[in-house]
Amino acid sequence: MIVESHWRKIKHDYLHRFNRPRIDLVIWVLISRLIPSALARMQALLQQNHRKATASWRKDFKTEWKKLNERQTEPVRLQQHHTDPVRWTCGCPYFLSSRFLTCKHILSCYEPASDPVDFFKTIQRRRNFPFWTHQQLVLLPQYRPSEADTEPDKADDNSEYEDEEGEDADAGMIDQDQLVDLEEDAEEDFDGFVADVQSAVDIVREQRAKGNSKFVEKCIATHASIRTLVQEVKLLRNQRTMRRTWAAWKHPATMYYN
């Protein structure tokens, strides 16, 4: 489907005047027209230049946000679904199946956006809660956490936002250094293991050439677990077959059902 969509864009935007174009013409269009346009769009999205390019999901997000804002909800429902607007989580079925992780219960806890145009253009999605952040996302007074509740987690919340925006450079460097150290240790362990295995193979071949059968038998018995592992992997690879969409008991007519 992605390939068909890509080819459809090429035909409609660049090759709509040609019927069965030559391959050299298609390649020229790809290099001189399509790729530069895609790179410019990607650069505009990374720089958040909304005048040149806007992410395709923002239009659907705006439509869903307005639709949910029009719905009314009762405060009792917030307790039933354990809605937490601070962490942006809710237990209602709509939230669990929502593409944008939104629901009417969470949106009812926030004040309306003062500048909707800027809000829908610059709102950012996070990988951890709260999943959406913007200056115009302001909780209603009755849902704002007290100072006693937020004081223990103040340092953790600041670290989350600083890591997301890239402001806390020192904490990020510490985490990055630890990660690099772990990767280097794992790489050294792997290289050492490979070197030991190669040395053991060379020694076994040398002793076998010399006729030292007892040493060879002892090595084989010692590394029986490795031999078992290799045999199991080979067996699994030989058992792999192509998955079939329609099983043997399926009726042929069912393949036309949606």
pLDDT average per 10 residues of sequence, the chain (258 residues): 83 85 89 89 83 85 92 88 91 91 92 90 87 91 73 47 42 49 67 79 85 81 75 72 53 44
N residues, the chain: 258
* Per-residue pLDDT, 72: 86
- Do 212 and 125 sit in the same domain of this protein? no
Asked whether residue 234 is domain-assigned, the answer is yes
Residues 6+ apart with CB under 8 A from 134: 119, 122, 123, 124
Q: How far is residue 133 from each of residues 30, 92, 197, measured CA to CA in Å?
A: 38, 21, 52
Residue 223 domain flag: yes
In terms of domains, do 82 and 141 share one? yes
What's the pLDDT tens digit per position in 22-44? 889 889 988 998 889 889 888 88
User: Any residues with CB less than 8 A from the CB of 114 and at least 6 apart, and which?
Assistant: 136
Local structure of 19: helix, strand or coil: coil
Q: Are residues 20 and 105 in the same domain?
A: no
Residues 75 and 143 in one domain: yes
Residues 151 and 69 in one domain: yes
By the 10 Å C-beta count (0-12 exposed, 13-18 middle, 19+ buried), 27 is classed as exposed
Quick check: is 209 in a domain? yes
User: Of 156, 175, 204, which residue sits at a domain end?
Assistant: 156
Q: Tokens standing for 74?
A: 């009762």
Q: What is the pLDDT of residue 67?
A: 93
Query: What per-residue confidence (pLDDT) applies to 152?
Result: 47
Point out the domain boundary residue: 105, 138, 156. Answer: 156
Using CA atoms, how far apart are residues 69 and 125, in angstroms rounded to an integer?
19
Q: How many domains does the chain have?
A: 3
Burial-class residue 83 by CB neighbours within 10 Å (0-12, 13-18, 19+): buried
Domain boundaries, position 218:
189-238
Distance (Å) of CA 201 to CA 10, 170, 206, 221: 56, 47, 9, 14
- Check residue 231 and give its pLDDT: 78
Q: pLDDT, tens digit, for every residue of 194-241?
A: 788 788 888 888 888 888 888 878 877 777 777 777 777 777 777 655
Q: Can you state the angle between helices 169-209 and 154-165, rounded to 10 degrees?
A: 70
pLDDT of the residue at 200 = 81
Are 94 and 103 in contact, with CB atoms under 8 Å apart? yes
For residues 81 and 34, state if they share a domain.
Answer: no
